[in-house]
Chain A
Amino acid sequence: MTTPDSIIQVRNFTAAYGNVKVIDDISFDVYRGEVFVILGGSGCGKSTMLKHMIGLYEPAGGSIVIEGDDIVTAEGEARRAILRRFGVMYQLGALFGSMTLLQNVRLPLEEYTNIPEEAMNLVALTKLDLVGLKDFAGHMPAEISGGMQKRAAIARAMALDPKILFLDEPSAGLDPITSAELDTLIKRLARTLQITFVIVTHDLPSIYSIADRVIMLDKRVRKIVAVGRPADLRDNSEDPWVRQFFNREAEAAQAS
């Protein structure tokens, strides 16, 4: 791709809790079809960034344009239209505990489409099939493991065929093998369905395995300190702190 096609544009974005600024005037693009990772140390505001991008919080300043429309200023139907363009997987899955997996995936279909009852079940089942949970359609979320819950949450996020998927810490609370399986799934979905992924994580192995491009936030300057391919940043970054992060070194090791 010579000129990458930008699908999300974040411009002059500032986030604050009360008077405390967490992110200060940053801008970046997410390109169509890439796996884009927002990373940074604990408390740097990467989850905050994600929650603003999906419209849960209102930023202190700036705009977040998703496929041409600013989610910050949109209201009512226009906002619903933007919400339909993406799906979200929350850190703990956030499946609705009183519904089976199939009902969870079906819910967005019930609310947004007029296809026949049975067709809804079929479409929902195909989404579960995509994440390898077809045989668990009738289970309740509490009856399956944490990794499966996250996969089911991805299936629900994909229910309306969004172009963009936001994932909040997909590897949190998972063992390395389950986490790697999830990475494989993400890569497969990105490749076969041309879904753009925006992922918040600080899990290095999974960043190397899935990320096309990363931005790195730093809580000390509250800005983006690095943009690029993870392997490039590891080997060639000018910033010693960025190199440290990608090589998984402690701060003290640098000082001595």
Chain B
Amino acid sequence: MVISGALDVATTASIWPQATKFFSETDAKAVEVDADGISYLDGFGAGLLLDIQRRAIPRGIRLTVSGLKPDFQAMLEPFKPEGYATLPSTSKPDAPLVDSVGAAIKALIADLGAFAEFTGEISRALVYAAFHPRTIRWKDVYRTAVVAGADALPVIMLVGFLIGFVMAFQSAIPMRQFGADIFVPTLVGIAMLRELGPIMTAVGLAGRSGAAFAAEIGTMKVNEEVSALVTLGLQPVRFLIVPRIIAAVAMTPFLIVFANVAGLLGGLIVFMSLGYPAGMYFDQLEQSISLNDLLGGLIKGFAFGFVVAAVGCMRGLQTSTGASAVGRSTTSAVVTSIVLVAIGDGIFAIVYYYLGF
């Protein structure tokens, strides 16, 4: 076998398949590689020669390389062909489906356990804070409340308005066919107050504040600021989490009220465009919805606010090291809290049903 010319990234690409094919097909017991004509050799050329050497070994071919220039010989020196018998695979083998399902369920259970434990820890801290209100960092509560509450108003109200508007519009068309469009206010009112207002606010809160909590606390974790708190004798739960939870829980009902008002306003506009007077809209609302509908939604709001804030903070504290970890925590905070809010809403629906609320 004769190899000659300049062996670099471009030339090795064309002769590599030939060389490997030769070694997988040949019956020869001994091969002499004439390397006299190699005028240039870099890491790729050396790799090719190494590949030839290692392929010869399992087939019992006695390989001699002759005429390789001493400079090039030195480049091959550090590599032992025997050590390259098998190459590590760069792609992970796919785990069997059963394994991955099992692993996912195990992770889910562990996660639920962590959340339960974390909820306990938070509850203890909140009870302690309730009896020692002076230990609460009110400045942080206020600052978080402004960001999570007041600053969120425009987007929450806009979304609330559009939902009310679209819901009224979409339902008015089929209802009108049955002459039932007079019930549009009832539909918008009940749906908004009982379900959509709280849910939509919780989702908005998860996207804005839950993600922010996870990112802030996660970054602090990565920067060892959380460790610094611990060694200063300040519990991260009291210091970082209690203020955020108080702020989020306190702000959520207000946000829901504003979302509800905006949604009803959206419904009103559609209703008036159907040719009804505004007074009729409010009459209908008054007859069909009660204070219980509003309160039911607000009670949910407290729970959702707690879940979103707690999940955001927990994901933040769970952040491992590295820059990508913060991103993962943030994503996970939003996804987990939306899932938990949806589950929680289902539970509330059942409980309210049996309570006749």
Q: What 1/0 mask marks residues of chain B from 108 to 149 whose CB sits below 8 Å from any chain A CB? A: 000000000000000000000000000000000000000000
How many A-B Cβ pairs are below 8 Å? 47
Flag if B223 contacts A92 (CB, 8 Å). yes
CB-CB under 8 A from A86, the residues of chain B are: 231
Flag if B232 contacts A94 (CB, 8 Å). no
Interface segment out of the listed A19-27, A107-115, A218-226, A243-251: A107-115
Q: What 1/0 mask marks residues of chain A from 93 to 115 whose CB sits below 8 Å from any chain B CB? A: 01111000000000110011000
Q: Of residues 219 to 238 in B, which have CB atoms within 8 Å of A's CB atoms?
A: 219-220, 223-225, 227-228, 230-234
Flag if A96 contacts B233 (CB, 8 Å). no
Given A56-B231, A88-B228, 15 extra CB contacts under 8 A: A54-B231, A55-B230, A56-B227, A56-B230, A83-B232, A87-B231, A88-B231, A90-B224, A90-B228, A92-B223, A92-B224, A94-B223, A95-B225, A95-B228, A111-B233
| Residue A84 is within 8 A (CB to CB) of chain B in the complex | yes
Q: Of residues 11 to 58 in A, which have CB atoms within 8 Å of B's CB atoms?
A: 51, 54-56
Flag if A107 contacts B232 (CB, 8 Å). yes
Flag if A83 contacts B233 (CB, 8 Å). yes
| A183, B225: Cα distance in complex, Å | 23
| Residue A237 is within 8 A (CB to CB) of chain B in the complex | no
Which listed residue (A79, A80, A94, A112) contacts B227, Cβ 8 A? Answer: A94
CB-CB under 8 A from B233, the residues of chain A are: 79-80, 83-84, 108, 111-112
CB-CB under 8 A from A54, the residues of chain B are: 231
Measured CB to CB, the nearest residue on chain B to A90 is: B224
| A192, B224: Cα distance in complex, Å | 29
Flag if B234 contacts A94 (CB, 8 Å). no
| Residue A179 is within 8 A (CB to CB) of chain B in the complex | no
Flag if A97 contacts B232 (CB, 8 Å). no
| B144: min CB distance to chain A, Å | 11
Flag if B231 contacts A83 (CB, 8 Å). yes
Q: Of residues 232 to 260 in B, which have CB atoms within 8 Å of A's CB atoms?
A: 232-234
CB-CB under 8 A from B234, the residues of chain A are: 107, 111
| B224: min CB distance to chain A, Å | 4
Q: Of residues 154 to 178 in A, which have CB atoms within 8 Å of B's CB atoms?
A: 156
Which 6 A-B residue pairs are closest in the complex by CB-CB distance? A94-B224, A90-B224, A94-B228, A83-B233, A80-B233, A88-B231
| Residue A121 is within 8 A (CB to CB) of chain B in the complex | no
| A87, B231: Cα distance in complex, Å | 7
CB-CB under 8 A from B231, the residues of chain A are: 54-56, 83, 86-88
| Residue A9 is within 8 A (CB to CB) of chain B in the complex | no
| A87, B232: Cα distance in complex, Å | 7
Flag if B225 contacts A94 (CB, 8 Å). yes
Chain A residues close to B by CB (< 8 Å) = 51, 54-56, 79-80, 83-84, 86-88, 90-92, 94-97, 107-108, 111-112, 156
| A51, B231: Cα distance in complex, Å | 10
| A159: min CB distance to chain B, Å | 8
| A49, B56: Cα distance in complex, Å | 49
CB-CB under 8 A from A80, the residues of chain B are: 233
10 contacting pairs across A/B (C-beta < 8 A):
A56-B227, A56-B231, A80-B233, A83-B231, A83-B233, A86-B231, A90-B224, A94-B223, A97-B225, A108-B232
Flag if A90 contacts B232 (CB, 8 Å). no
CB-CB under 8 A from A56, the residues of chain B are: 227, 230-231
CB-CB under 8 A from A79, the residues of chain B are: 233
CB-CB under 8 A from B230, the residues of chain A are: 55-56
| A201: min CB distance to chain B, Å | 16
Q: What 1/0 mask marks residues of chain B from 264 to 280 whose CB sits below 8 Å from any chain A CB? A: 00000000000000000
Measured CB to CB, the nearest residue on chain A to B225 is: A94
| A92, B27: Cα distance in complex, Å | 62
Measured CB to CB, the nearest residue on chain B to A81 is: B233
Flag if B232 contacts A111 (CB, 8 Å). yes
| A51, B220: Cα distance in complex, Å | 17
CB-CB under 8 A from B225, the residues of chain A are: 94-97
| A142: min CB distance to chain B, Å | 11
CB-CB under 8 A from A112, the residues of chain B are: 233
Measured CB to CB, the nearest residue on chain B to A51 is: B227
Flag if B224 contacts A91 (CB, 8 Å). yes
| A88, B229: Cα distance in complex, Å | 10
| A198, B234: Cα distance in complex, Å | 22
CB-CB under 8 A from A97, the residues of chain B are: 219-220, 223, 225
Measured CB to CB, the nearest residue on chain A to B234 is: A111
| B20: min CB distance to chain A, Å | 33
Measured CB to CB, the nearest residue on chain A to B229 is: A96
| A64: min CB distance to chain B, Å | 14
| A54, B231: Cα distance in complex, Å | 7
| A56, B231: Cα distance in complex, Å | 7
| A95, B223: Cα distance in complex, Å | 8
CB-CB under 8 A from A94, the residues of chain B are: 223-225, 227-228
| A86, B230: Cα distance in complex, Å | 12
| A238, B192: Cα distance in complex, Å | 80
| A197: min CB distance to chain B, Å | 15
Measured CB to CB, the nearest residue on chain B to A112 is: B233
Measured CB to CB, the nearest residue on chain A to B143 is: A98
Q: Of residues 27 to 83 in B, which have CB atoms within 8 Å of A's CB atoms?
A: none
| A92: min CB distance to chain B, Å | 6
| A94, B224: Cα distance in complex, Å | 5
Measured CB to CB, the nearest residue on chain A to B135 is: A111
CB-CB under 8 A from A84, the residues of chain B are: 233
| A108: min CB distance to chain B, Å | 5
